[in-house]
Structure 1
Amino acid sequence: MSKNIQIASPALYQEVAARLRERIYTQDLKPGDAIDEQALAAEYGISRTPMREALKVLHAERLVVLEPRRGCFVAELKEQDIDELFPLMALLEGRCAYEAVKKAKPADIRRVEELHKKLEKYAAANDVDKYFEQNCLCHELVQKLAGNYWLERVINDLRKFLKLLRGRQLQLPGRLQESLSEHRMLLAAFQNRNPAAAEKIMHDHLVNQHAALIIFDREKKNKAV
């Protein structure tokens, strides 16, 4: 005799963590910002207990930093973090592109083409924010088409840190068009069913993002002096 098994809904603190995570990714809560636990709890109409539990989750993910006697702050990627993260992501996403092209069916390639059309649209409008969001969707689709659980697991864990940067390298003059050109080459690799080319293009795409970010941050610091 089978029993009815009730599936528990997500705990309140998990829902709160998801909302805060999204606010961090969209930079409604910016890197380095202090998180007012009491104000946020009041805003969401909850007690401070689920808010604290949510912040513990984000702290475990390294999206926020809990400092004794100082409070909670949105995490900031240091220069060393960035220098270590991008080359690793270049290797992983390059492999993703290789496997995605190797396994892609005609319908999959059409999906890549449809997403790419929106990249072209936002680049033409010089809409950096929309381009960044669409760029993320393109990378996530390549990852999904790769169909490699282990790659997906590792990349998902690391990608959340790249999202903290909010694609600020795209603000460097000329970088948006360079990025679009790289995506055009990636699309061609899909259409030509060339996994090796796709791997190199995606790898170099991440390396170029890193280089552009270094230049952008250096110029920003120089202007601030």
Structure 2
Amino acid sequence: MTELAVFPDPYQGTRPPNRRRGGLADDVVLYVREQILTGALKPGTKIDQEALAAALDVSRSPIREALVILGQEGLLDLIPRRGAVVADLTPEDIVDHYELFGVVAGRAGAIAASTLDEDEIEQLRAIHDRFVDGTDDDLSALNWAFHRIINRTAPRRTRWLLRLLERSVPADYYEFTDGWNAQAVGHHAAILEAIVDRDADEARRRMEHHLHESGVAAVAHLERQGFWED
């Protein structure tokens, strides 16, 4: 079992504009989840709670609460008298998570194709044009803005679930996944085209494909990080 001795500086480059700090346990959940899903913490790594408390300047109570939440998510195994270790996630686990996200996001895409007005479509197109232009430094913020216009057309409970799923994937996707921005440009263009055409079924399908490919890219990144190496 790998021991975790030191955590990187907390929150360094980990939050897109919609991720405001919540409760202390929520902050710990976000931090550890991103450490796992970006490959910094590998399967079998034991979570050093003292190092985590020092890195995030929190007490042990929110850490224990956060570890329980991450255990319920399947990212950690909680072992009596031994603590928490990173679960033995498989590539299929990672892709499945993104595909689940895609099912809900696809529903929002279908609704957007039927309900967005012309002004909102122009906003979507303007954000996409900035993405294509490539001069913005914060691609994650543009990605968030693009999806926000689509997601806010969904019913209240669907929006809640989308926010929950959005927080469960790495925030700085465009910074840690090589070449993903080029793929995302094509995906977003296809989604936008379906919405402009008012083709709800195609918008759903293209959004689901976008999230599936996000999962594939995440697996490729983790493989490059040696996530599954012994």
Evaluate the alpha carbon distance shift between residue 58 and residue 82 of structure 1 in structure 2; reply closer, same or farther with a 3 A threshold: closer
More helix by share: 1
Evaluate the alpha carbon distance shift between residue 68 and residue 140 of structure 1 in structure 2; reply closer, same or farther with a 3 A threshold: farther
Evaluate the alpha carbon distance shift between residue 22 and residue 49 of structure 1 in structure 2; reply closer, same or farther with a 3 A threshold: closer
Evaluate the alpha carbon distance shift between residue 49 and residue 215 of structure 1 in structure 2; reply closer, same or farther with a 3 A threshold: closer
Partner of 1:10: none
Evaluate the alpha carbon distance shift between residue 155 and residue 74 of structure 1 in structure 2; reply closer, same or farther with a 3 A threshold: farther
Matched-pair contact (CA < 8 Å) for 1:119–1:131: yes
Residues 181-200 of structure 1 mapped to structure 2, 5 A cutoff:
181-200=186-205
- Say whether 1:203 aligns with 2:211: no
Partner of 2:104: 92
Matched-pair contact (CA < 8 Å) for 1:94–1:200: yes
Evaluate the alpha carbon distance shift between residue 43 and residue 106 of structure 1 in structure 2; reply closer, same or farther with a 3 A threshold: same
Partner of 2:152: 144
Residues 18-97 of structure 1 mapped to structure 2, 5 A cutoff:
18-24=26-32, 26-27=34-35, 30-32=40-42, 34-74=46-86, 77-97=89-109
Q: State the superposition RMSD in angstroms.
A: 3.8
Aligned-partner residue type, residue 148 of structure 1: P
Cα deviation per residue 1:11-62 (whole Å; 9 max; x = unaligned)?
A: xxx7212222332455398343543322333455554234323433443344
Aligned-partner residue type, residue 201 of structure 2: A
Q: TM-score, normalised by structure 2?
A: 0.65
For 2:83 and 2:187, locate their aligned partners in 1 and report how far apart those are by CA, in whole Å: 42
Partner of 2:6: none
**Which has the bigger relative contact order, CA under 8 A and spacing at least 6?**
2
Partner of 2:121: 109
How far the C-alpha of 1:180 sits from its partner, in A, is 0.6
Does the residue aligned with 2:35 lie in a helix, a strand or coil? coil
- Equivalent pairs: percent with the same residue? 23
Evaluate the alpha carbon distance shift between residue 66 and residue 167 of structure 1 in structure 2; reply closer, same or farther with a 3 A threshold: farther
Cα deviation per residue 1:123-167 (whole Å; 9 max; x = unaligned)?
A: x67x7xx4345434433442222x223433444444444338946
Aligned-partner residue type, residue 210 of structure 2: H
Partner of 1:178: 183
For 1:185 and 1:66, locate their aligned partners in 2 and report how far apart those are by CA, in whole Å: 42
Partner of 2:18: none
How far the C-alpha of 1:195 sits from its partner, in A, is 2.5
How far the C-alpha of 1:182 sits from its partner, in A, is 1.6
For 1:194 and 1:49, locate their aligned partners in 2 and report how far apart those are by CA, in whole Å: 49
Does the residue aligned with 1:20 lie in a helix, a strand or coil? helix
Does the residue aligned with 2:78 lie in a helix, a strand or coil? strand
Query: Could you list the runs of 5+ residues in structure 2 that have no partner in the other structure?
Result: 1-21
Query: Could you list the runs of 5+ residues in structure 1 that have no partner in the other structure?
Result: 1-13
Name the larger-Rg structure. Answer: 1
**How many residues in Structure 1 have an aligned counterpart in Structure 2?**
203
